[in-house]
Amino acid sequence: MVRKLLFAITLCVFSVSCEAQVAPAAGTTHAPLSGSINLGVNYWSGDWGRGDINRWGPTVSGTATIWHDFSVIAEGRSMIWGGNQVAQNFKYVEGSGGIVWISDYFGRFQPLIKAEAGFGSLTHPPNGSGHAHQTSNTWTLGGGFEYHTYGRLWTRVEYDYDYFTGFYSSLSGQTHNLNPRGITFGETYRFGRSGSRY
């Protein structure tokens, strides 16, 4: 009887300790208030006419982690280089801030989703409004991923969709949202002790 009892206790202790060893570690690799800076390039469509305006431009952003995988983000982007002859009169510069979620669940490959509000400046071809420049509030939705490249460097690729509000259209004679959108890619440098972890 005593042997059976000792055997049962040993079995329970061994089972519990094995279960504890295989349990995944809780938590996130994004330490609170850790940050990053990203430098990159945009290739965007200006949402003009038949969609003939496609331009390049620099982008820069910075983040600070506030809770688990959520960070605040401040970002500036532009469309100022290249394109066809019509595009030479189209320049878009925008600054915004908001929230970005970058999941570390998948290790080296980390998907991201973001939402931002900001302010944009647009120089454009004639549109029947009598002026060729406009500023407006903007809203941005975006998504993509970061991939661990080396050390603290991560390669970022994302797609962003802007809402440039209150734009006058010569085609419809009404105001609506203009939707510049496209791909952004570049390198992120992550600060802090978790910058090179995944």
Distance between CA atoms of 170 and 151, rounded to whole angstroms? 51
pLDDT at 78: 96
pLDDT at 69: 92
List, in order of start, the domains of the chain with CATH numbers.
31-190 (2.40.160.20)
pLDDT at 124: 86
pLDDT tens digits, residue range 87-145?
Answer: 888 999 999 999 999 998 999 999 999 999 999 999 988 777 777 888 999 999 999 99
pLDDT at 40: 98
pLDDT at 33: 73
The pTM of this model reads 0.80
pLDDT at 144: 98
Query: With a cut of 50, which residues of the chain have pLDDT below it?
Result: 2, 5-6, 9, 11-27
